[in-house]
């Protein structure tokens, strides 16, 4: 989800955070990263389109600061969100994005989501243009393989002394 315009002041940001904290669908989570021995808020994510009856839940409203982008902590955050969704008994975990958002599409594929298709003219953007939305999912029957891949990738043994990965996440999937 685009965060445009960004809050223009600290008080506007605070109000936005208060509203996010009070929301139940979407339900927001702060992403914390250990920095110099302390925890620092580096982003947020949420569950949305929460459907307990159908046991379907979506991850979205992602905001990753530059300190979080392309980091092991970002991958760990997405692993923990998926893990918790399946532990809560959901059978379908969804990811959706603008069909032209190549970084989001790559992230979904990297995290093990299966691309299902594109809903044409699904939304109208802030400029009045049509927006196509691409849907991805991980099913409960696929989760064990994805979980093992995440855990293998996140293992300390997958990183060298400089913190660089030895194997890509995709290489851990069967």
Looking at residue 11, its pLDDT comes to: 85
Task: Please give the sequence-ordered ranges of beta strands (E in DSSP) within the chain, or none if there are none.
Answer: 27-35, 38-51, 56-64, 92-98, 114-124, 130-139
Instruction: Look at residue 174 and tell me whether its pLDDT is greater than 80.
Output: no
Backbone angles phi, psi at 93, to 5 degrees: -120, 120
Looking at residue 166, its pLDDT comes to: 97
* CATH class of the domain comprising 10-172: alpha beta
State if pTM tops 0.75: yes
**Could you count the other beta carbons within 10 Å of the beta carbon of residue 151?**
13
Element holding 113 (H helix, E strand)? none
Element holding 100 (H helix, E strand)? none
Instruction: Look at residue 1 and tell me whether its pLDDT is greater than 50.
Output: no
What's the full length of the chain, in residues? 174
Model confidence pLDDT, tens digit, residues 92-112 = 999 999 999 999 999 999 999
Instruction: Look at residue 89 and tell me whether its pLDDT is greater than 80.
Output: yes
Specify which residues 35 forms β-bridges with: 38
Model confidence pLDDT, tens digit, residues 114-156 = 999 999 999 999 899 999 999 999 999 999 999 999 999 999 9
Instruction: Look at residue 5 and tell me whether its pLDDT is greater than 80.
Output: no
Specify which residues 123 forms β-bridges with: 131
Residue labelled with tokens 């960004």: 6
Residue spans per domain, the chain: 10-172
Looking at residue 93, its pLDDT comes to: 99
What is the arithmetic mean of pLDDT over 75-93?
98
Alpha-carbon distance 96 to 1, whole Å? 9
């Amino acid at each position: 989800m685009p965060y445009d315009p960004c809050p223009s002041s600290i008080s506007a940001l605070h109000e936005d955070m208060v509203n996010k904290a009070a929301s139940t669908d979407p339900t927001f989570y702060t992403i914390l990263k250990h920095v110099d021995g302390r925890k620092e808020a580096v982003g947020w994510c949420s569950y949305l389109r929460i459907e307990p009856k159908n046991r379907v839940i979506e991850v979205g409203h992602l905001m990753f600061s530059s300190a979080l982008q392309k980091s092991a902590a970002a991958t760990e955050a997405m692993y923990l969100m998926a893990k918790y969704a399946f532990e809560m008994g959901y059978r379908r975990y969804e990811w959706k994005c603008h069909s032209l958002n190549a970084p989001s599409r790559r992230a979904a594929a990297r995290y093990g989501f299966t691309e299902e298709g594109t809903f044409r003219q699904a939304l109208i953007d802030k400029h009045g243009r049509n927006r196509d939305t691409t849907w991805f999912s991980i099913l409960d029957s696929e989760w064990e393989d994805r979980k093992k891949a995440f855990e293998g990738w996140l293992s300390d043994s997958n990183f060298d002394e400089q913190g660089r990965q030895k194997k890509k996440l995709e290489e851990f999937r069967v």
